[in-house]
Amino acid sequence: MAQKPYIIVLGNEKGGTGKSTVSMHVIVSLLRMGFSVGSIDVDARQGTLSRYVENRKFTSDKMEKPLPQSEHIPLLPSTLSLKEDAIKEDQKNLEDALTKLSAHRFILIDTPGSDSSLSRAAHAVADTLITPLNDSFIDLDMLVRLRSDTMDILRPSIYAEMVWEQKKRRAIRDQGSIEWFVLRNRLSSLNARNKEQMEDVIQALSKRIGFNYIPGFGERVIFRELFLAGLTVLDLEDCNIPITLSHVSAKQELRNLIQMIRLPDVEKLAA
């Protein structure tokens, strides 16, 4: 019996949190470990991951030794006027894409920074969900409502409730579970009070809402610079790009991320 692909979803309902950057780095990490990877961009209208993949192919085509690539599918949301029909079409399009990529060991899905039936459908098929979160209370509001004077947690946000809804759907559909990780992204190197408060709130929130917390990536210009060439910090040596201390730190952060999300077969490889 063929092994079922393991599905990783990058999701939240706020743009600009680095989902596509994290997506590409996870994809390339798995590819360079020797796994086959499929990728789906259900935010094809914005298309950041799709452009990242296109940029990577363009760079690779000019190289003597090609860069490892995922098999990529962009998906646009349904344009049907009736909501129920649109939801059914979105579901079918996602199922068709998953079927097409079913020979791969891993499938990574990048979702939009907004609520949609296609995004919900993607969340519902996740084995692992990674939610990047910029290190600010504006972005934290996506997960939780806080009391402004005491920082006490009042209630989960609409997005957190949506994730729990998809967890229940997944359990009912196939008795599966969704492992949820919140990744603090673009961390400042300065030990500011805001940073310490974020740490305290997220640690408390992880226990209350039920996600795993990952310290994440620092704020690095290198991540933005690599996008235009479709590269990641794991590709620098192949492209003869001089390695800096910032690159070394970024690679270590990526290794920590891959280790902490505990993907099947990856743990065996690291053992």
Contact 19, 142 (CB under 8 A): no
pLDDT digits (tens, 9 = 90+) for 142-195: 776 666 665 666 677 888 888 988 988 888 888 889 999 998 876 555 555 666
What is each CA distance from 158 to 2, 53, 71, 145, in whole angstroms? 37, 31, 33, 10
Question: Residue with structure tokens 């998809």?
Answer: 166
Can you give the residue ranges of every domain in the chain? 6-270
- Mean pLDDT computed over 67-83: 95
pLDDT at residue number 61: 96
- Rounded Cα distance, 6 and 197, in Å: 35
For residue 133, which phi and psi values (nearest 5 degrees)?
A: -140, 115
- Output the six-digit token pair for 89: 């079409």
pLDDT digits (tens, 9 = 90+) for 199-214: 777 777 777 778 898 8
Fold of 6-270: Rossmann fold (3.40.50)
CA angle 39, 40, 44 (to 5 degrees): 135
Contact 77, 116 (CB under 8 A): yes
Lowest mean pLDDT, pick from 17-26, 100-109, 130-139, 232-241: 130-139
- Rounded Cα distance, 179 and 37, in Å: 19
pLDDT at residue number 247: 87
pLDDT at residue number 48: 93
Percent of the chain at pLDDT exceeding 70 = 87
pTM value is: 0.91
pLDDT at residue number 115: 87
- Mean pLDDT computed over 31-41: 97
pLDDT at residue number 245: 87
What is each CA distance from 126 to 4, 129, 177, 183, in whole angstroms? 13, 6, 8, 16
198-224 in b/e burial notation, b at 16+ Cβ within 10 A? beebbeebbeebebebbebbbebebbe
pLDDT at 231 over 80: yes
Residue 228: alpha-carbon gap to chain centroid: 19
44 — pLDDT class (breaks 50, 70, 90): confident
